[in-house]
Amino acid sequence: NAGVTQTPKFQVLKTGQSMTLQCAQDMNHEYMSWYRQDPGMGLRLIHYSVGAGITDQGEVPNGYNVSRSTTEDFPLRLLSAAPSQTSVYFCASSSGVSSNYGYTFGSGTRLTVV
Amino acid sequence: AQSVSQHNHHVILSEAASLELGCNYSYGGTVNLFWYVQYPGQHLQLLLKYFSGDPLVKGIKGFEAEFIKSKFSFNLRKPSVQWSDTAEYFCAVRGNNRLAFGKGNQVVVIP
């Protein structure tokens, strides 16, 4: 099925470890973004991309890196995990910043940093 | 950057009651407005959206929302809720390449 695929669904890390959260979409969407969801905080934008080779920071970018080498993939990297990064992470895509189709969200990655 | 405010973060009501969730935003430019729903353990799903035209927007599952430009509001309504509407509801505003979310409303419908 077409959509946004996130892997892994669950992950436990030790403080200081690094990892990459994967996000892939097969809808040829230009726009992709990463959010973190914390109780009572809603979804906060971490990084976003308006096309291959173009990324920009969102509301809470510290501790996270992204790259966009292809239209399909938008991985999120944690270089040195901290307990404050325990959260649920969602990737979303859209066919353009002026798209009339809204955003499609992945099913999320639940990350726990101990 | 835009910001979104949602009030009454926790709402408890009985089946058949009416629901209204408030959403106010701040942004000086043209905006697109959305309401998303997140059922327990699931990802976000689009309920409805407003881009232009009729400010009264109808979405899925009997939800509707009204855009009032002068009040910077986009309130969500449903005349008669069901137990299956128990979920968290998020208002979102897109402007300047960014989609910003409110903190959400946790809605619990009691059978």
**Residues of chain A contacting B87 with CB distance shorter than 8 Å:** none
Q: Whole-number mean pLDDT of chain A? A: 92
* Token representation of residue B26: 């701040």
The neighbouring-strand residues paired with B110 are B14
Average pLDDT over residues B62-88: 96
Note the pLDDT of residue B13.
Answer: 96
B46 vs A12: CA distance, rounded Å? 29
Mutate to test the interface with A, among B43, B47, B93 (most CBs of A within 10 A): B43
**Residues of chain A contacting B44 with CB distance shorter than 8 Å:** 43, 90, 92, 105
B90 vs B35: CA distance, rounded Å? 6
A26 vs A42: CA distance, rounded Å? 27
B11 vs A81: CA distance, rounded Å? 35
Between A29-38, A87-96, B93-102, the lowest mean confidence (pLDDT) is in: B93-102
Note the pLDDT of residue B8.
Answer: 75
Query: Which residues, 6+ apart, have CB-to-CB distance to B45 below 8 Å?
Result: A105, B36, B37, B38, B39
Average pLDDT over residues A37-44: 90
| Residue B51 near chain A (CB below 8 Å) | yes
| Residue B90 near chain A (CB below 8 Å) | yes
